[in-house]
Amino acid sequence: MQKYGGSSVGSIELIRQVARRVIHTRAQGHEVIVVLSAMGDTTDRLLDVARSLSERPSGRELDVLLATGEQMSVALMCMALAQGGCRAKSFTGGQVRILTDGLFNNARIRHVDGGPIAGELGSGCVPVVAGFQGVDDAGNVTTIGRGGSDTTAVAIAAALHADECQILSDVDGVYTTDPRMVAEARRLDRITFEEMLELAGQGARVLQLRAVACAGRYNVPLRVLSSTADGPGTLISYEEPDMEAPVVSGIAFNRDEAEITVTQLPDKPGMAHRILAPVSNAQIEVDMIVLNAPRGGRVDFSFTVHRADYRRTMELVKREVAGLDIGEVLGNDRVAKLSVVGMGMRSHAGIATTLFDTLARNGMNVRMISTSEIKISVLLDEQHLERGVRSLHAAFGLDKDASPQAVRHA
C-alpha cells in the first residue's frame, strides 16, 4: 500500500515519476495498491471556485466538486502506469466501495469492501484508489475531511491486511523536532502509534491524526517516506517486546495558541463546564485545560484555543461570567505550546525535572503545564519558543547521532 500526497503528483512529470516508483516496487516482488490525493493545490482551487459562487456552498455539492480532484489523479496515474507497461485500474471512493456516514465534508469511514481491489491485485493489476472520498448509504458522494487520503490508505490497508501502509510525500520521515527550527533534528527510524499521535496532535504535521489513530486501531504499520528520495523513512507501529523505547522521541510545538484564564472562580461543581459550554457550542476547539487546586474556596481556571478563535472566545467567556462572583478574565494570544513526547516517559521520572530545569536555566517562564502518560506540554511566551525547543532538543540528547533505541532507560 503506497499513498502519495498532492505535492507528489502535482504535475504530469511528477505523476510519471510516481508511476516509475510503483513499477520499481512491483519489480521487487511486492503487490502494490496506490492511493492518491488530488494534484498539487487542486482542492484549494476548487474550494475557491465554490466560494466565488456561494459563501456557504452546500456540503453535498462541495463534496461532488472536490471528489473530482482525486478522480483526475487516479485516471492520469493509470495512464502513466499503462504507458510504463504496468496494468492498472482506477477506483473512485464509490467503486471501492468506501462506505461512510452522511456527514458531508467530514464523513467518517464505516466500512471498506476490499473485494474489488483484492480481485484486481490477484489478477496482477495495480489498483489506484482515489483518496479522500467515499459514498454514503444513499449513494451520495462524500469526502472525509482534510488530509483524508491518509485515512483512506490506512482503511484500505486494514481491510486487505496489507503488510505496510507507506505514506509518501515531500517529507522523508518523522523527526525529533522540526528541522527548520533545529538543524540538529534527526529522522527517527521508528516510533510508536502513541508517540506519533502526540507528535501529530502537537503540530508536527506529517500525518493526519485520524490516520494514525485508525492505523493503531487496526494495527496497520505505517511508514513515512520521501516520494522522490531513497531512504527507509520512519516506521510507525506498536512497541515491540524487544524494542526499548527512547525516553524522549521528539519535541513538537505549535505557535498558534491563545490562553484564557478566569481567576477566583467559586470552587463549585459545574463551573468549568459552564465556562466551556458556550465555547464548544460555537465549534471552537479547546486544547489545554488546567484547573489549579483551590485556595480558600476559589480556583483559577485556564484553557487554550487556536489563536484565530481568541477574540470570539474572550467575548463568549466574558458574556458567560458576567454577573458571576469571580475575579477577572485574562487573555494572552502571544503564547506557544511545546510538547516533549516519548514512550519512555511512562517509566522515567526525571523528564519533568529536566524539562523545567532547562527552561528555568534559560530564563523561560512556564505559563501552563499539562501532562499525559507519554507527553508533557508547556505553554510559553511565544518569543521563547524557539530557544525552548533548541535547548530541550539538546538537553534530551535528541541531537546525538544515534538511533533512538540507543537512548535507553536510565
Which residues make up the interface to a second copy (CB under 8 A)? 12, 15-16, 46, 49-50, 52-54, 57-58, 60-62, 64-65, 67-68, 71-72, 74-76, 78-80, 82-83, 89-90, 92, 94-95, 139, 141
Closer Cβ to a second copy, 71 or 391, answer by number: 71
In this structure, are residues 343 and 239 in contact, taking their beta carbons and an 8 Å threshold? yes
Quote the least distance from Cβ 11 to a second copy, whole Å: 10
In this structure, are residues 133 and 95 in contact, taking their beta carbons and an 8 Å threshold? no
Quote the least distance from Cβ 44 to a second copy, whole Å: 15
Quote the least distance from Cβ 158 to a second copy, whole Å: 23
d(CA 310, CA 286): 11
Closer Cβ to a second copy, 136 or 259, answer by number: 136
Closer Cβ to a second copy, 99 or 351, answer by number: 99
C-alpha cell belonging to residue 331? 487573555
Quote the least distance from Cβ 20 to a second copy, whole Å: 13
Q: What are phi and psi of 277, to 5 degrees?
A: -55, -50
In this structure, are residues 288 and 324 in contact, taking their beta carbons and an 8 Å threshold? no
Quote the least distance from Cβ 80 to a second copy, whole Å: 5
In this structure, are residues 22 and 2 in contact, taking their beta carbons and an 8 Å threshold? yes
Amino acid type, 277: A
Quote the least distance from Cβ 229 to a second copy, whole Å: 23
d(CA 283, CA 184): 38
Closer Cβ to a second copy, 148 or 344, answer by number: 148
DSSP state of 324: S
> At 239, is the secondary structure helix, strand, or coil?
coil
d(CA 360, CA 351): 14
Closer Cβ to a second copy, 96 or 389, answer by number: 96
d(CA 22, CA 156): 17
C-alpha cell belonging to residue 402? 544515534
Closer Cβ to a second copy, 48 or 285, answer by number: 48
Closer Cβ to a second copy, 104 or 310, answer by number: 104
Closer Cβ to a second copy, 92 or 166, answer by number: 92
Quote the least distance from Cβ 140 to a second copy, whole Å: 8
Quote the least distance from Cβ 210 to a second copy, whole Å: 25
Closer Cβ to a second copy, 72 or 290, answer by number: 72
Quote the least distance from Cβ 36 to a second copy, whole Å: 12
In this structure, are residues 373 and 345 in contact, taking their beta carbons and an 8 Å threshold? yes
Closer Cβ to a second copy, 51 or 268, answer by number: 51
Closer Cβ to a second copy, 33 or 80, answer by number: 80
Minimal CA–CA distance to 134: which of 161, 96, 166, 160? 96
> At 378, is the secondary structure helix, strand, or coil?
strand
Mapping DSSP onto H, E and C, the string for 211-231 reads HHHHHHHHCCCEEEEECCCCC
Quote the least distance from Cβ 121 to a second copy, whole Å: 17
Quote the least distance from Cβ 74 to a second copy, whole Å: 7
In this structure, are residues 290 and 370 in contact, taking their beta carbons and an 8 Å threshold? yes
In this structure, are residues 43 and 71 in contact, taking their beta carbons and an 8 Å threshold? no
**How is 323-345 classified by DSSP, letter by letter?**
TSS---EEEEEEEEEEEEE-GGG
> At 183, is the secondary structure helix, strand, or coil?
coil
In this structure, are residues 331 and 260 in contact, taking their beta carbons and an 8 Å threshold? yes
Q: How far is CA 34 from CA 1, 90, 153, in A?
A: 6, 9, 8
DSSP state of 6: G
